[in-house]
Amino acid sequence: MEHYPQLIPLIILIPSIGAFINFFWGAKLSERGVSIVATTASSLAFLVAVLLYAYLSGSGYQAAVVNPPLLNGWIRLPGVEIPWQLRVDTLSVTMMLVVTGVGSLIHLYSAGYMHGDERFSRYFAYLNMFLAFMLVLVVGNNLLMMFVGWEGVGLCSFLLIGFWFDRANGIGWRNSNAAKKAMILNRIGDFGVLMAIFLTFWTFHTLDFYKPGEVAVVNAGETTQTLADKSGAASTTEGGSTVTLNPETGEIVNTDNTQVATNQLGIFGQAQRMIAANATVQLGPFNWSISTIITLITLFMLLGAAGKSAQIPLFVWLPDAMAGPTPVSALMHAATMVTAGVYLMVRSNVFFANAPLTSLVVTLIGTGTALVAGYIALGQWDIKRVLAYSTVSQLGFMVAAVGVGAYSAAIFHLVTHAFFKALLFLGSGSVIHGMEHGHHEAAHHGAHDEHGHDAHEEPFDPQDMRNMGGLRHKMPITYWTYVFGTLALAGIFPFAGFWSKDEILASSWLRGLFGDSNNIGGFIALAGLLAAAALTAFYMWRQVVTVFHGDPRTEAADHATESSAVMTIPLIVLAFFSLFVGFINTPNFILFKSIFGEDRFTEWLSQSVLNAHVVEFQPLLALIALGVAVTAMILAGRIYGHNKAVVNHDRDPLELQPETAPLWAFANARMYWDATYYRLFENPFNVASKFLADTLDWAFWHDWFHNMVLARGFNAIATFLGKPVDLGLIDGAVNGVGSLARAISGRLRRVQTGYVRTYAVTILLGVVVVIIVLLLPMLNGNG
């Protein structure tokens, strides 16, 4: 068992191989073959994660740092050492389990959902690739590896959101625009992460979370009784991976890092020591204290998380990302990718715990996001868009939890949310599938409706809730699993969401009461999150009533059928988990402790996360939250039940009532977030780039400059050189020489008169000259 960590490179390798196979040979395999390859890869990765979980449980939660074979070092420069290193600890295993588990189910679901698509193999290749990158993100032992995964999942989200980029009627264009939007906003977040990495490296001269052999959950200078890494020699065996192990299996060793030099520690150890020593860091001409640097780093990390985890102000990509296939939405935007930001913040809990300012900001942003998204969700008609805003809202919950210091609560909520949100998305996918099938049936086999025109020719949106209704009887499995997911999301006892949401609320309450910093943040978080929980319950039940209850409002809904087994089985599995996964972290409450143990998840997580601590169960708070949620659900049933919705010309009742009409309209308009961004950023950018491209580059540079200056100038020079210079000067010179010769010879030829006498005179003259020349010395000399 102690060698299980050596399997960890497989968890990245197997999905990569699956992607590779599907990329190059997927076209030759059948649909069945492609889906088998991909799902098998994903399931094997899940198996490895389970094995690693078994290892950790068995070995006393000892973290392991593994160097993958054949990748000896990555960046090796004098003073810079960033290796390919994989980390096996409870946090990373948790993430691995969630990612691969939910991912495998979604692979299975996709095999049915994407049936008949022309780029079937590519889809699965992308999915496996996404899985591989996400796992790189969560198992990396240094910030740079995490960033590799960060970027990789950003790439895969772009590829998958814009998967149907060539659909007709402008839909393909809309899809690719959504993908582009996701990429750009993620990029802004990536800037934050990069700045955080740079600052971290500058400050600590390393990017490793914890070096091999370092104790992770020890405060600086303290000796704890916690289980920790054995600081044994991490020797590299030949061709294999290096594992630091406790040589006596299972033995609890008291160790700390006191004997390790500061520059041999990872970033968190160094940060703790530097904070304790009130060190200063030189940044440019300034000397800044370590807490300022930590605040800066965490603020940049927050920017990154805002991009990846869809917080204010960068969340607008997530609703548009629903343009991708529904399983993609389920995997990425519900369960895994968007949680990368939360993972980053929880991994850097040492930083955040020592940056109170950032934590306050985080809290405010998280709470704000939860409220804003929840508000917008209740004005949406698209079934997936509601879920998207719901995701954003829940992410706000998680981020707010990080802000108030409830790191384990954040991860707990992450885990539960993964299951019920994936369930809800897959369920909505099933609904959409059924609606499409029903539409197809109605168009071809059904009679004309009462309006007398063929329904097939009208534009039909299978995702619009106004076209649904009464699907409870048509798609029972989908209905019941969807109800499970809704109850879990709303936080109804004893579903999963109740426990995780309550833990967050309790942490905020306690932070507000007893926290040594950010007290006000705790209270704000409590109030806001309660309101957001109410909103969540309201819009989710609104959705259930509108979609499943009442009578079918269209022919399509009338002819909808249940989806195939390959789609419904993952729904059932996820519904099961939505009910029971909450029990992994039951607090000390009534009987649950004796059945499921007490705070087992927090205990488990605290082996890796230093600041994860148990939260005392607040029964009163839980009761208030439950009451708020139930009340909201009943209210929604009242307003939207019995087809009250959309009977009146497809209008929302809230829209019709004058008190709530402007609020609803504002929510339906998505609070003009996208419009504002367009006005503030996109449009000026487009105008500027259009100006630069059309006017500056093309009209000025290519046309005017080239024509006037270059072409004309060249022509002028050429003409000048051609005519006056070449013809005039050079030809003139050459011809002039000829003319000169001719002129001279014309003059000279008159010497040849032809008369003998002239020649005789000339000879005589010459003779005289010669004689003079000969006699000259005689005249001068003798005299």
Partner 1 sequence: MQVSTESYVMLSMVLFSLGVMGVLLKRNAILVFMSVELMLNAANLALAAFARHWGQEGGHLFVFFVITVAAAEVAVGLALIVAIFRSKKSINIDELHQMEG
Partner 2 sequence: MTEFFWFGLVGLIAIVSAIFMLRSDNAVHSALFLIVTMACIAFLFLLLNAPFLAMIQITVYTGAIMVLFLFVIMLLGSERLQDNDPAQESQGKRRNRLFMTTGLVFLLLLVFGVALTNVNLDLATDTSPLPQLRVLNAAPDAGTVDVYANDQLVASGLAFNTTSSYVTLTPGDYTLKVQPAQGVAVTTPISVQRGQQETAVDYGNNRNLSVGLIADDDSTVNQDRSGRLKVFNAYTGADAVKLVDLGTSLSLTNAPVLIDTLKLGQSSDVIYETEGTVNWAFVDAANPQNAIYRVGNYNFQRDTSSAFVLTQERIQDGTQGGSLRALAIPLVSDAAPAFGGPKAIGLQLFTNYMLVFQLLAVLLLASMIGAIVLTHRQSKSATRKQTGRRVVSRPLVNVIASQVGHDVTDEGAGLPELEEPAAPVGK
| Interface residue list for partner 1 (CB under 8 A) | 748-757, 760-761, 764
CA distances from 545 to 353, 388, 642, 643 (A): 43, 18, 8, 8
HSE of 288, CA atoms in CB hemisphere, 13 A: 15
State the minimum distance, in angstroms, from the CB of residue 747 to partner 2.
Answer: 21
Write out the two tokens for 239: 């061709």
Three-state helix/strand/coil letters over 191-257: HHHHHHHHHHHHHHCCCECCCCCCCCCCCCCCCCCCCCCCCCCCCCCCCCCCCCCCCCCCCCCCCCC
Closer to partner 2 by Cβ: residue 669 or 767: 767
Q: Which helix (H) or strand (E) holds 661?
A: helix 661-668
Closer to partner 1 by Cβ: residue 236 or 753: 753
The Cα 20–Cα 38 span in angstroms is: 10
Q: Which does 169 bind (CB under 5 to 8 A by kind): partner 2, partner 1, none?
A: none
The number of beta carbons lying within 10 Å of the beta carbon of residue 54 is 13
In single-letter form, the type of residue at position 270 comes to Q
- Binding string, 527-566, against partner 2, x = CB under 8 A? ----------------------------------------
State the minimum distance, in angstroms, from the CB of residue 755 to partner 2.
Answer: 10
Closer to partner 2 by Cβ: residue 594 or 780: 780
CA distances from 240 to 360, 477, 650 (A): 45, 48, 64
Beta bridge partners of 86: 66, 140
State the minimum distance, in angstroms, from the CB of residue 745 to partner 1.
Answer: 8
One-character DSSP codes across 579-627: HHGGGGG--S-TTHHHHH-SSHHHHHHHTT-TT-------HHHHHHHHH
Q: Which does 447 bind (CB under 5 to 8 A by kind): partner 1, partner 2, none?
A: none
Q: Which does 782 bind (CB under 5 to 8 A by kind): partner 2, partner 1, none?
A: partner 2
Closer to partner 1 by Cβ: residue 447 or 748: 748
Q: Which does 756 bind (CB under 5 to 8 A by kind): partner 1, partner 2, none?
A: partner 1
State the minimum distance, in angstroms, from the CB of residue 723 to partner 1.
Answer: 37
693-702 contacts at long range (C-beta below 8 A, 24 or more positions apart):
none
Closer to partner 2 by Cβ: residue 71 or 775: 775
The Cα 767–Cα 775 span in angstroms is: 12
Label residue 117 exposed, middle or buried (CB < 10 Å: 0-12, 13-18, 19+).
Answer: middle
State the minimum distance, in angstroms, from the CB of residue 776 to partner 2.
Answer: 10
The Cα 498–Cα 503 span in angstroms is: 8
State the minimum distance, in angstroms, from the CB of residue 728 to partner 1.
Answer: 32
Closer to partner 2 by Cβ: residue 748 or 778: 778
State the minimum distance, in angstroms, from the CB of residue 727 to partner 2.
Answer: 47
Closer to partner 2 by Cβ: residue 236 or 758: 758
State the minimum distance, in angstroms, from the CB of residue 773 to partner 1.
Answer: 19
Q: Which does 753 bind (CB under 5 to 8 A by kind): partner 2, partner 1, none?
A: partner 1
Q: Which does 773 bind (CB under 5 to 8 A by kind): partner 2, partner 1, none?
A: none
State the minimum distance, in angstroms, from the CB of residue 766 to partner 2.
Answer: 11
Closer to partner 2 by Cβ: residue 710 or 772: 772
Please report whether residue 692 would count as binding partner 2 according to CB under 8 A: no
The number of beta carbons lying within 10 Å of the beta carbon of residue 743 is 11
Interacting stretch for partner 2, rule CB under 8 A, among 241-249, 531-539, 579-587, 774-782? 774-782
For residue 630, give the 3-state DSSP assignment: helix
Write out the two tokens for 308: 């990846």
Site size for partner 2 (CB under 8 A): 13
Closer to partner 1 by Cβ: residue 261 or 748: 748
State the minimum distance, in angstroms, from the CB of residue 765 to partner 2.
Answer: 7
The Cα 49–Cα 90 span in angstroms is: 11
Q: List binders of partner 2 among 711-770 (CB under 8 A).
A: 757, 761, 764-765, 767-768
State the minimum distance, in angstroms, from the CB of residue 779 to partner 2.
Answer: 6
The Cα 322–Cα 380 span in angstroms is: 13
Label residue 294 exposed, middle or buried (CB < 10 Å: 0-12, 13-18, 19+).
Answer: buried
Q: How do beta strands 86-88 and 64-66 pair? A: antiparallel
State the minimum distance, in angstroms, from the CB of residue 772 to partner 1.
Answer: 15
One-character DSSP codes across 111-179: HHHTTT-TTHHHHHHHHHHHHHHHHHHHHBSBHHHHHHHHHHHHHHHHHHHGGGTT-TTTHHHHHHHHH
Please report whether residue 783 would count as binding partner 2 according to CB under 8 A: yes
Q: What angle do CA 147, 264, 229 make, to 5 degrees?
A: 85
Q: Which does 768 bind (CB under 5 to 8 A by kind): partner 2, partner 1, none?
A: partner 2
Closer to partner 2 by Cβ: residue 459 or 783: 783
Closer to partner 1 by Cβ: residue 594 or 752: 752
Closer to partner 1 by Cβ: residue 729 or 760: 760
Write out the two tokens for 227: 């289980």
Please report whether residue 772 would count as binding partner 2 according to CB under 8 A: yes
Site of interaction with partner 2 (CB under 8 A)? 757, 761, 764-765, 767-768, 771-772, 775, 778-779, 782-783
